[in-house]
Amino acid sequence: MKAALALARSRGVTVRFADLGDWLEDELRSEYDPAIPEIRLNVRLAADLTIDELDELVTLAIGHELYHYCEATGEIARLPNRSARESAAENFARALLERTP
């Protein structure tokens, strides 16, 4: 988690927990707001997690949203469709989790 938070900070992206609403059977882990820029992590998901689960959730969510940040800034080319972008963001997040001690 610390590495993901440091990576966000190094890019000027703030990270905070917020209530992102009720998505019923869907799960919204996080969202990225390019206007601030800010990553909001869903406090509703975090409430019932163990420390290890929370660490994984935060790392994956930050990694996912940082991919979208990199798209917004032009650091990563924007893929042509949403499904491809979401898959690429998830792969980016998994890679961040794997290299985090």
Dist. CA 40–CA 50, nearest whole Å: 19
- The number of C-alpha atoms within 13 Å of 63 and in the hemisphere containing its C-beta is 24
Name the pTM for this structure: 0.89
The whole-number average pLDDT for the span 20-42 is 86
Which two three-digit tokens encode residue 43?
């406090």
The whole-number average pLDDT for the span 31-59 is 92
* Res 99: pLDDT: 85
